[in-house]
Structure 1
Amino acid sequence: MDFFNAFSWINIRFLLDGLMVTVQVALVSIVFSFIIGGILGVIRYMKIPYFSKIVGLLVDIIRNLPLLLIIFFTYFALPQIGIQFSIFWSAVAAMTIFESAMLSEIIRAGLIAVPKGQMEAGRSTGLTYMQSLYYIVFPQGIKLMIPPIVSQFISLIRDTSLAVIISLPELTHHAKIIYAQDPSAVLPMFVAMTFCYFVICYSLSVFAKRLEVRWSTS
């Protein structure tokens, strides 16, 4: 197969179908992990007796596990205890578990970076602890969180390729099918995957920079 012939409309459409699954898994995982990670990060920041330490222990365990192991766990181990997901939701569950742990640490660190006097100032005006956290501490901390959070989301998009191990029909899986049928298409498919991942990740990084500038000037 000629290099350019590998980019036939059939192959391109097949790759785009895989790319769509990649984006869907990433978007759903980003939403769930941001919500769960935010809750876990706040719990750790609040230092609730015993509970915060238990959450911190679980987060540290997950953060030090390979994502591939978590993918295997959600797809192969959970059905053994009666919890069974489709391939798509197994990938989403694994990504969410892993990214929630990562984001919780980022959010906790961002909140800790805000001077303690800000919380005390809020409490002195009559606001409750949660109101001070929501209206005073969190808006200041989010400015520090944006770069590492976006970096983590970019990593998540790249990490969706690991779900090829459970045959998730995403971009890498579809490219693998194409060059498995014709070994001469290996290089074109790697070029295509590189281009797709670069466009998505670079666009997200540009958006993050603009968002960071907007937050810093607000």
Structure 2
Amino acid sequence: MALLEQAYSFVNMRFLFEGLAVTLEVSVISIIFSFIFGLIFGVIRYIEVPYFSAVVGFIIDIIRNLPLLLIIFFTYFAIPELGIRMTPMSASIVALVVFESMMLAEVVRSGIQAVDSGQMEGARANGLTYFQAMRYIILPQALTKMIPPLVSQFISLIKDTSLATIIVLPELLYHAQIVYSQNTTYMLPMYVMIALMYFVVCYILSLAARYLERRLG
């Protein structure tokens, strides 16, 4: 009991919550930009622009089959060789956005394909242009169908921020390592606590997604 009181002292818990704040900041920024780019690339893949869609599809396939850790290493260690310096936070965000946007592009493409083709035909028959039909008719329906896989990817992204500890991003796992490095008996309590924090954040996101899915459904 005394061990838990020491491990979960006010100072240690405040330090963990500071790491959690960094994790959430990186996650939120990465989710926003990943969704934007994933939506753009997914639409491009779906409408099959000659040559361009093929190039985008090739890039998506390459990045989706690379380890995220490799992309983080490349962003933080290789890109500076080109004269572009990034902090651990900016490098982490760039790596996560690059990887997750490619994953989301396939989710978007699949979601659009799941919408009945008659919706587009009906919209065009009523005088809408292709892009108007896509914006006002197809995408709203597709996004509703995409909620479960999108949330699954967002949850994965939140958990994947822990990989950035390798480039010294001061996120939750990194802060926990600092705490138990001062006293190795704190290792188990720290891992239990960060597991609980990740669970709470991801579970809240899952509940929000279920609520949104019911409302839109």
Return the TM-score normalized by structure 1: 0.98
Q: Distance in 1 between matches of 2:19 and 2:141?
A: 39
Aligned position for 1:176: 177
Further displaced range: 114-123 or 96-105: 114-123
Aligned position for 2:33: 32
Pair 1:59 & 2:25 matched: no
Q: How far did 1:4 drift?
A: 2.5
Pair 1:11 & 2:12 matched: yes
Aligned position for 2:125: 124
Unmatched segments (≥5 aa) in structure 2: none
Q: Distance in 1 between matches of 2:142 and 2:36?
A: 16
Structure 2 SS opposite 1:127: coil
- 1:45-194 matches, cutoff 5 A: 45-194=46-195
Structure 2 SS opposite 1:3: helix
Q: Deviations over 1:62-120 (max 9, x none)?
A: 10000000000110010011122111000000000000001010001000111111111
- 1:179-218 matches, cutoff 5 A: 179-216=180-217
Unmatched segments (≥5 aa) in structure 1: none
Q: Distance in 2 between matches of 1:32 and 1:85?
A: 17
Return the TM-score normalized by structure 2: 0.98
Q: Calculate percent identity across the aligned residue pairs.
A: 55
Q: RMSD of the alignment, in Å?
A: 0.8
Structure 1 residue runs of 4 or more that deviate by more than 4 Å after TM superposition: none
Q: Matched residue pairs, number? A: 216
Q: Distance in 2 between matches of 1:187 and 1:85?
A: 33
- 1:36 partner amino acid: F
Q: Distance in 2 between matches of 1:124 and 1:116?
A: 13
Q: Distance in 2 between matches of 1:86 and 1:204?
A: 28
Structure 1 SS opposite 2:191: helix
Check the 8 A contact 1:4/1:188 in 2, yes or no.
no
Q: How far did 1:47 drift?
A: 0.5
Aligned position for 1:42: 43
